[in-house]
Structure 1
């Protein structure tokens, strides 16, 4: 019963994130795609991705398909850049590092200023992604539990500055806690 109520609360929280922009991607001036890093090999400070994490990084690249990216950003930790590596390599682009400790509002403002158009891929951490997403869409977002790796947050900002958040899943389902 508790799990059911938690799912209902999460669904209501995510439903409240949609802002009234048209539902077609064609109206988006810029799209920010934000993910948490994929599964890591251990709990050390700067671990590599596990085999499941590498598979998830490949699944991210596959989920993006042929979508052009204007930029890719990852924190200074290996697991975030490894998560974006297949997507960036497929497009022949470098991954731009950003400090994990940078306040989300500052990072979001920098992203919006640097990227008025196109699609931007961002990898962060369970304790930073919700704040980055919230700062980009000016909405409330649900926290990311430690066991969750499959959330894909897509923020579309129209030419009028209005934002819309869509939250989907990619790759294998995250394991239950």
Structure 2
């Protein structure tokens, strides 16, 4: 009887720890930018997309927001960060391997805003799957990498915003 009680108590303490190890990483490329500028800000459509992203992710329990230092990525992250009252932390797109290791080690739900040439790469590093490149004209991709004891799952979503 003691053995059964001890086993049940052990299971009660182990189960919450396993549940806590499950987390999701959300990756998105910055929204539409103004053309022909160095370090451009978002275009009107980009601002709408950033606001839509904040609404889509409102209930995801994201604990941290990361962005590169560029204006367009910071502006894409800002509506969500403000909505959730989170600071935007900056990361270097030149050090994706180290950044991926940090994200996996933290074991928290996070949003990462990057670029067309780095977001698919980061998704591949985090999910350990092949991820297709995206073009300069693609802005709607939203990658979710779910990490749990049973492995990693990569899901590609598409934001439902279209601009003229």
TM-score using structure 1 length: 0.77
Unaligned segments of structure 1, at least 5 residues: 1-25
- Candidates 153, 157, 160, aligned match of 1:168: 157
* Greater fraction of residues in helix: 2
Shift of 1:70: 1.2
CA distance in 1, matches of 2:56, 2:153: 20
Counterpart in 2 of 1:42? 35
Give RMSD over aligned pairs: 1.8
Counterpart in 2 of 1:133? 123
The structure having more radius of gyration, on CA atoms, is 2
C-alpha distance after superposition, 1:34-88 (max 9, x if no partner): 0000000123231100110000000101111322211000001011111011111
TM-score using structure 2 length: 0.83
Unaligned segments of structure 2, at least 5 residues: 1-18
Greater length-normalized contact order (CA 8 Å, ≥ 6 residues apart): 1
CA distance in 2, matches of 1:65, 1:75: 21
Question: After the TM superposition, which residues 90-129 of structure 1 pair with which residues of structure 2 at under 5 Å, given as runs?
Answer: 90-102=83-95, 104-113=96-105, 115-116=106-107, 118-129=108-119
Count of residue pairs brought into register by the alignment: 146
Contact 1:71–1:120 under 8 Å retained in 2 = yes
Shift of 1:107: 1.3
- Candidates 11, 23, 34, aligned match of 1:30: 23
Shift of 1:27: 8.8
- Candidates 127, 132, 142, aligned match of 1:142: 132
Structure 1 runs (4+) greater than 2 angstroms displaced: none
Counterparts in 2 of 1:62 and 1:158: CA distance versus 1, 3 Å: same
Contact 2:65–2:81 under 8 Å retained in 1 = yes
